[in-house]
Chain A
Amino acid sequence: MSEAISTSYLECLLKSWQAKPAESRAWLNQLRAQAIDCVSTQKLPTKRDEEWRFTDISPLTTLPYRPSQPDSALKIEDVQHLFLDDAKNRLVFVDGHFSQSLSAIAEPAALIAGNLSALLSAQASILESHLGQYVPFDHNVFAALNTAFLQDGAVVIVPKNTVIAEPVHLLFIATQHEVTSYPRCLLIGETGSHVTLIEDYAALQQAAYITNSVTEISLAGNAHAKHIRVQRESTKAFHLANCAVALAHASNYQSVSISLGAQISRYNLDVRLTDEAAECTIDGLTLISDRQLADTHTCIDHAKPNGTSHQQHKCIADDAAHAVFNGKIIVRPQAQRTNSSQSSRNLLLSKTAQVDTKPQLEIFADDVKCSHGATVGQLDQEEIFYLRSRGLSETAAHNLLTYAFGAEIISRIPVSSLRQQLEQAVLDQTQSNPS
């Protein structure tokens, strides 16, 4: 894409930005202003940028979708099917805008959760010290745009030593055509707290739109968070997402990210183990078909000693779909006795499907245990024979193994209603009929 087009695209987006809401704070206005400045000094990435070498986002410039406007006509019956029985804390955003009437918090005494604007005065200092601090936007035009447009957002604060029993479901529903929404999430886990957060992107119709989201997670000492991310956008949509996680001493972060939707999607996940003995488990599954493109870039940064990270990423690509996984692991000189493992396993279901997988290990400490491996292939013939020798037809064996490949990641989701929905989605996408 030419520079001129790219610049005018961004200008066009910025012009569509409207006057900031009245309840805003000076620090927040300043944050937005910085982000706007950053947008104007950046360009949209192209395939010439190393970080975007497999993912061509130039189709985006043909759709300078205006920011979405709140649509209050939506009724609970329209979206209820997206709710989860076993996640009774729920914040719902429609095209990026908070919906009070669709949201519900089951544990209001224990948990601080709500829309950014509603919490700005009560949680002023904590928000000021965290919001915008983990996802830098000076070299990331999408994060800069999200921050420039920052208005509504999901804020979840888990107070010290508090265990939140019910998962917190952040549900982002796309309802409109040809708009851009800018979802924003902030999770702060205070010392010794426990929470399960579900970040869920869904659509009511097969519309073309853009989601540009930013999620920031900060876990204090000994805090535990499980983060389940489900991207099930319309397959005509564009999904561009940045998530950054900061882990303090002996904190524990477990994430499962599932990418099913979008025409083109990009998920950047940065996890920094900022203090000793932090642990993280990062699992991902991409399941795509037709001409979908799904790109996952992760970076796990071990900055301090005795950290642990385990990562398993899987892609199943059918038809002419293209999956990308780039997994960077940094072990800084101080980060002695780091234990890190990474596995990337990829299954191609058709001759025209494509996977690009790239481990990137940057290890600067000497006393570390690091392992990594990547495979790209078809189903294992020995596994197929095992199942056929038990009476399953070749097609049934094929289907079961493909399902199993995806279900292994899904099985790590600790929310059974969501797990069942996703198992069904995997089943629907992996079952071919006898030929």
Chain B
Amino acid sequence: MIIANSPTILSVQGLRASINGTEILKGIDLTVRSGEIHAIMGLNGSGKSTFAKVLAGHSAYEVTGGSIQFEDKNLLELPPEERARAGLFLAFQYPIEIPGVANTQFLRLAYNTVQTQRGKEELDPLEFDDFVREKMKLLEMKPDFLDRSVNEGFSGGEKKRNEILQMALLEPRLSILDETDSGLDIDALKIVANGVNRITNKDNATILVTHYQRLLDYIVPDFVHVMQAGRIVMTGGKELALELETRGYDWITANKQPVAGVSA
């Protein structure tokens, strides 16, 4: 939701980043305020995941220009774990499998680390078990899922749900969901979208990265940005997603103006 005078959570200005000497992000500007949901759309290879990983602090990318302000912090000065503890969360496009570590063990470790940072009580295994099972209901997850190794042998849909479960546990200020919809059938998509909608509120913000508008039928964005070759080349309201669905991306570079006007 767009709220007048709501505080800025994220302010990205002129962000440039490269990997192995190749520039991928070529000057990104984006402002996200509390309560808002932003969608970033664009063809494969346009730099969406790179942007998400640079926000989360992946060390393989070198930031060569611009700034990122996250609430009162200069994000670029913080290592990934401190960004997470400060309330930034990235749901990965390809969540990592960790055979040998039970999901519940991993979830509790992450939860307690972030809780401690916030000056709150840690939960012991029993308390955590009750807590996490409650959150799992939100995403219609089977209980055996806690005892399995982190993401090991999970279906694509289960991995994505596990990411959203972590989002629900960590209660971030800003969530970046990278292609959380890909690989989900329509039922799973509805469950995940419903979970996200229950977590979002006026005090947090969400960036949805996707290249289909399908997800946006269920999580309705306040803003839609189009990314091309490492830049945000167009910004509109939720209608822009529908227009991209019917017209594709080709017209944008030529036009630079959406047909359906933006009234934000």
Contact = CB atoms under 8 A, between A and B. Distances in A.
Interface of A: 380-383, 385-394, 396, 400-401, 403-411
B178 to A, nearest CB: 11
Interface stretch (B93-101, B192-200, B248-256): B93-101
Contacts of B106: 390, 400
Contact of B99 (A390, A393, A394, A408): A408
A390 B166 contact: yes
A403 B79 CA distance: 23
Contact of A389 (B84, B99, B100, B109): B84
B173 to A, nearest CB: 13
B24 interface: no
Contacts of A409: 100
B81 A392 contact: yes
B257 interface: no
Contacts of A394: 79, 81
Contacts of B90: 389
Nearest to B81: A388
Contact of A407 (B95, B101, B114): B101
A417 B142 CA distance: 27
A409 to B, nearest CB: 8
Contact of A388 (B80, B101, B109, B170): B80
Given A385-B80, A388-B79, A404-B100, 17 more contacts: A380-B96, A387-B110, A389-B80, A390-B110, A390-B113, A391-B84, A391-B114, A391-B170, A392-B81, A392-B110, A392-B113, A394-B79, A400-B98, A404-B98, A404-B99, A408-B100, A408-B149
B98 A392 contact: no
Interface of B: 56-60, 79-81, 83-85, 89-90, 92, 95-96, 98-101, 106, 109-110, 113-114, 117, 149, 166, 170
Given A386-B96, A392-B113, A394-B81, A404 B101 contact: yes
Given A390-B110, A404-B99, A385 B59 contact: yes
A385 B80 CA distance: 7
B111 to A, nearest CB: 9
Please name the 6 residue pairs, one residue from A and one from B, whose CB atoms are nearest each other, closest first: A408-B100, A404-B100, A407-B100, A390-B110, A388-B80, A386-B96
Nearest to B151: A386
B174 to A, nearest CB: 13
11 contacts: A383-B98, A386-B95, A388-B79, A389-B90, A391-B84, A391-B170, A392-B113, A403-B101, A404-B98, A407-B100, A411-B100
A388 B96 contact: no
Contacts of B110: 387, 390-392
A230 B98 CA distance: 24
A401 B98 contact: yes
Contacts of A382: 96
A392 B56 CA distance: 13
Nearest to A426: B100
A386 B81 CA distance: 10
Contact of B56 (A389, A393, A411): A389
Contacts, number: 77
B100 A390 contact: no
B97 to A, nearest CB: 9
Contacts of B96: 380, 382-383, 386
A385 B84 contact: no
Given A381-B60, A385-B59, A408-B149, A391 B81 contact: yes
Contacts of B98: 383, 386, 400-401, 404
A196 to B, nearest CB: 21
Nearest to B90: A389
A400 B92 contact: no
A405 B150 CA distance: 12
Nearest to A401: B98
Contacts of A387: 110
Contact of B92 (A386, A391, A411): A386
Contacts of B89: 389
Given A382-B96, A385-B59, A394-B79, A400 B101 contact: yes
Contacts of B60: 381
A403 B102 CA distance: 12
Most buried by A among B60, B79, B83, B101: B101
Contact of A390 (B58, B84, B149): B84
Contacts of A396: 109, 113
Contacts of A407: 100-101
B170 A390 contact: yes
Nearest to A386: B96
A389 B95 contact: no
A241 B84 CA distance: 49
Nearest to B95: A386
A391 B85 contact: yes
A189 B84 CA distance: 54
Contacts of A383: 96, 98
A118 B62 CA distance: 72
A230 B46 CA distance: 52
A405 B84 contact: no
A391 B166 CA distance: 11
Contacts of A380: 96
Nearest to B88: A389
Contacts of B95: 386
Nearest to A385: B58
Contacts of B57: 388-389
Contacts of B113: 390-393, 396
B32 to A, nearest CB: 18
A392 B105 CA distance: 13
Contact of B100 (A388, A393, A406): A406
A326 to B, nearest CB: 24
A388 B84 contact: yes
Contact of A400 (B58, B79, B109): B109
B100 A403 contact: yes
Nearest to B53: A385
